[in-house]
Amino acid sequence: MTSQITFYLSQIIGCKLYDLNGAQLGKVIEIYVNAHQENLNKDEVFRPAFVGLKTKINGEVRYLNYDYFKISGNQKKFKFICSKTVDLETSTIESSLPLAKNILDRQIVDINGRKLVRVNDIRLVSIDSGTFVIAVDVSTKGLLRRLGVSEILTKFLNIFNIALETNFILWDDVQALDTSNFNIKLSLDSNKLHKLHPSDLADIIEEMGAASRTKIFESLDEEKAADVLEEMEPYAQAQIIESLSIEKAADVLEKMPADEVADLLDTLEDDKVELILNEMEKESSEDVRELLEYEDKEVGSLMTTDFLSFLETMTVDETLSELRKQQPEADMIYSLFITDTNEKLIATVSLRDLVISLPTMTLKEIMNTEFISVQDEDKADRLAAIILKYDLLAIPVTDAVNTLVGMVVIDDIVEDLMSKRKTKKGGLSWR
């Protein structure tokens, strides 16, 4: 029959060591585990195993091989029994992970909870084949256990029928983030973190320290990095871009909408901005440069140059085929724009009208020539009044000679409002 003892790191740090005759040898001051396991099968779950103990014996610090130890006791008191004191090899010490020093109080990602949490204790198990790490405890109860007041407080709360919950994260779900003092990968599957929604991942990265923030961001592919960067607050965006190489920054920014890039670069030093723009692809760089020329209070500073326009002679079927080919983002098809051969805006057409019309009909037959537009140099504070009055999701933007140059989507207007810019009503341009 296999014997099993489960316990916590907080319960064995500082506990006593005894020899086989019951004589006290010293006490435990740190636990060392193997940081990785070679030749692990794909479906196997890695559990770090105890390899050594940092002890204090007769006033001397010694690193002892765990092969000669057994743990015994119960949840109130544990002890280590040593059959032989064999020093741990230096190479093993250097390649192993000290649990208390490098895991307790570290920040990790709770993949299921999609948030950054702190390790308050570590769940362990001892079986015939060894002693292993199985989970981390990120609950308040874990912290109280470390402080030695868990039992007393639990009894007190029981009087009021209040229970403290324990929150475990299994070791294979742990993603260590604060790696400033060690360079060890704590999870076999780093993709778990990358599979989080960009918004969730952005929130998590923003909570990290600068060094950890950059390290995690650099591990993302360019598409994912761009999506995450778009979701981050301006201060975090600027810190990330400042920490990246010019080449890496340019590669990521090329994957973002030009208006988002312009807003971000507007917070950086001019010299840095010029280096990044020179490194970006010419077309992307030119779009961003055009947007950077607008004043903050102008419509052009909020518009995106990513839009789709069509000729009135195109059929519904041809237009839908082009949409399938382009696979645009959702906000790009709030409204479709119709231009002439000189790219002058002449009408709009809704996605609804496009979908319900016969495939052979031309856009001219279903387009709306009485539309609302704004000019790129108009005051931005008039946009909120327009979307509220006319229930719009997107507004086309033209230049002074009616050339279509971009559009402003409702998301950007709301974001502008949340930045506490004042809004005023302005005139409308009707066609």
Q: Is 95 exposed, middle or buried (0-12, 13-18, 19+ CB in 10 A)?
A: middle
Q: What single DSSP character describes residue 174?
A: -
For residue 174, which of 126, 103, 125 has the smallest C-alpha distance? 103
**278 φ/ψ angles, rounded to the nearest 5 degrees:** -65, -30
CA 358, CA 314: separation in Å to the nearest integer? 13
According to DSSP, the residues that pair with 304 across neighbouring strands are 407
CA 87, CA 65: separation in Å to the nearest integer? 6
pTM (2 d.p.):
0.67
Q: For residues 308 and 301, is the Cβ–Cβ distance under 8 A?
A: no
Per-residue pLDDT of the chain (431 residues; tens, 9 = 90+): 457 889 999 999 999 999 999 999 999 999 999 976 665 566 667 788 999 999 999 999 999 999 999 998 877 789 999 999 999 999 999 989 999 998 898 888 777 777 888 899 999 999 988 999 999 999 888 888 888 777 777 777 777 777 777 788 888 777 555 444 443 334 434 566 777 889 988 988 888 878 778 888 888 889 999 999 999 998 899 999 999 999 999 999 999 989 899 999 999 999 999 999 999 999 999 999 999 999 888 999 889 888 889 999 999 999 999 999 988 888 788 789 999 999 999 999 998 999 999 999 999 999 999 999 999 999 988 888 888 888 888 899 999 999 999 999 887 787 766 654 443 444 444 34
Tokens at 31, concatenated: 């636990």
Cα-based distances in Å from 50 to 9, 34, 87, 174, 185? 12, 7, 14, 18, 17
Q: Where in the chain is the domain with CATH 1.25.60.10?
A: 196-293
Q: Where in the chain is the domain with CATH 3.10.580.10?
A: 309-430
CA 335, CA 100: separation in Å to the nearest integer? 57
CA 328, CA 311: separation in Å to the nearest integer? 18
CA 291, CA 260: separation in Å to the nearest integer? 10
pLDDT score recorded for residue 37: 64
CA 356, CA 24: separation in Å to the nearest integer? 85
Radius of gyration, alpha carbons of the chain:
31
**142 φ/ψ angles, rounded to the nearest 5 degrees:** -65, -40
**200 φ/ψ angles, rounded to the nearest 5 degrees:** -65, -45
Q: What is the separation, in whole angstroms, between the first and last Cα of the chain?
A: 86
CATH of 196-293, one of 1.20.1260.10, 1.25.60.10, 3.40.30.10, 3.30.930.10: 1.25.60.10
**What DSSP letter does each residue of 11-70 carry, written as one string?**
HHTT-EEEETTS-EEEEEEEEEEES--TT--TTPPP-PBEEEEEEEETTEEEEEEGGGEE
- Which residue reads 């319900």 in tokens? 356
pLDDT score recorded for residue 424: 40
* CATH code of the region 309-430: 3.10.580.10
CA 131, CA 320: separation in Å to the nearest integer? 62
Q: Which sign, positive or negative, has the C-alpha torsion 251, 255, 258, 261?
A: negative
For residue 354, which of 390, 297, 308 has the smallest C-alpha distance? 308
CA 382, CA 370: separation in Å to the nearest integer? 19
